[in-house]
Amino acid sequence: MCSVHESIATSIGCGNPETEGIAYMICNLLNSAFSVVGCEAINPPTEPECDNDDDCGDYEVCLAQLCEPVECKRDDQCDEHELCNASYKCEWRSCDNDGECPDGVCISGYCEDCREDDDCSEGEMCETKQCVPFACSVDGDCPQPPESDYRFVCVSESCEPDPTDCRGPGLSCQEPNPACDPSDGTCVECVIDDDCDEGFECVENACLESVECRDDEDCLEPTLPACKLSTNTCVECTSTNDEYCDGLGEVCDTENSLCVGCLGNLDCPPTDPLCSSGSCSPCVDNTPCIGRTDKEVCKTDTGECVFCVPGSGCPPATPVCVGYSSCAECTSEESGACNTEWQDCVSNQCVPKAGRCESNAQCGGGTPYCNTSTHYCAECLLESHCPDQGIWDPELFCYEGNCVECTPSDVSRCDKGYQNIPEDLCLYPPGECVECRTNADCTHPYFPVCKTGDREDYYCICTPSSCPSGKTCHEWYCS
């Protein structure tokens, strides 16, 4: 039924009584009749409320020519750090950099008031990313030099000028310290010379009697560049700044505050090593050379210190002075440390002569061992150096550098030879056990002749004329 009511009312309209006339009356009658059964009345058409947002209130926008209420229609109608979006709702402002936050800074993608106190206005501080009125808890929270002209202290959460800092507003210094030191705000006797009486000067905030100098910077005369503090006078040098003498090639006589050529011998060069009356001169003995590296001997003909001179400055192992600058075993003119019996001088060194030796390195062949007493190469020095001859020959031993079977005084290793013929005589040299050395050693009538010649000889034999009557020499014996 209500839909019929809406259809009729829509078709006839419920307009202005002055312009619609009968239609208006019918509309009202229908509204009254249908209201009895619970249908809503049909309002007559009205005039448009708006054409755009400007026709509506501050928190309204024009929708379908009607002014509808909204949360916002401009950014300034939202809270700080919020924007009015396209749905007329306030939302938190996002950002990529500080430039997108006109009144703050960008932190983690959102606009905030501040990161630190400097982002806030004067009298404010940054607290949890919001600028709030400044409040201090300790003096360190307050501005301090050099950021401020004077110190501040924290009083009841407020920063106040430090009353002990004379640089602060309305503060001044009084006697006996009437001057304000601008470096730290303390009251001192003086800051500049004009703060002192005549005849005095300001030194480290104290008025002291005027003197020629208190440090080297006060000495402007090039020839007197050092300040002697004991007298407050400018001098050539002192014990604490003897470097002023370096450019003169001199040293400082601190007792007299003068630059001199030398104070001791080692202040002088090797060419003029003797210090006398503050000057350097030639040497006449080794005294001024002592303590000089590699130059401790006086070359008296020139008066200079050198490494060595003939007969002085070289150790026994290298006794020959070469060119006043080094020591050697020998030279072509001086044998020096060489034993001329078995050594020659080669390149300033003692070396063995041909056939002589100093160590096994110079020996070889059949004489591989050096006898360091005689400096000759030998076949052996110890019995262990001699070879083993086998069971049919005597054991060799070392005698006078040679491996021998016997010596003229020792035939103990000789034994009986072939067919039990005794070989107990020693042929020396070469130190070989033999049966005979001469015919006199052959006492048997059947082989009365000593065969000599090769080393394998020296045994008794017969000859055609040596056999007894009735015997004939057969091979090597009479039969």
Q: What is the DSSP string of 292-317?
A: -TT--EEETTTTEEES-BTTBS--TT
Please state the pTM of the whole predicted model.
0.40
Residue 422: what pLDDT?
A: 65
Pairing outcome for strands 233-235 and 226-228: antiparallel
Closest alpha carbon to 426 in 401, 446, 397: 397
The whole-angstrom separation of Cα 270 and Cα 257 is 26
Residue 17: what pLDDT?
A: 43
Q: Say if CB 189 and CB 195 are below 8 A apart.
A: yes
What are the φ/ψ torsions at residue 327 (nearest 5 degrees)?
-115, 145
pLDDT digits (tens, 9 = 90+) for 133-171: 888 889 988 889 988 899 999 998 888 899 999 999 988
Asked whether the bond before 146 is cis by omega within 30 degrees of 0, the reply is yes
**Residuewise pLDDT in 10s, the chain (479 residues):** 445 444 444 444 454 444 444 554 555 555 555 554 455 545 555 688 899 988 899 899 999 899 999 999 888 888 876 778 878 888 777 788 888 887 888 988 888 889 998 888 877 888 888 888 888 889 988 889 988 899 999 998 888 899 999 999 988 899 999 999 999 999 999 999 999 998 899 998 999 988 999 999 999 998 899 999 999 999 999 988 888 888 666 899 988 999 998 999 999 999 999 999 889 999 999 999 999 999 999 999 999 999 999 999 999 999 999 999 999 999 989 999 999 989 999 999 999 988 889 899 989 899 999 998 889 999 999 999 999 887 777 889 999 999 999 998 888 888 755 444 566 888 888 888 888 888 888 888 888 898 887 767 788 888 888 888 888 888 788 88
Q: Is 123 left (phi over 0), alpha (psi -120 to 50) or beta?
A: left
Residue 158: what pLDDT?
A: 87
Q: Say if CB 359 and CB 349 are below 8 A apart.
A: no
pLDDT digits (tens, 9 = 90+) for 417-451: 544 456 688 888 888 888 888 888 888 888 889 88
Contacts 24+ apart (CB under 8 A), 170-179: 179/205
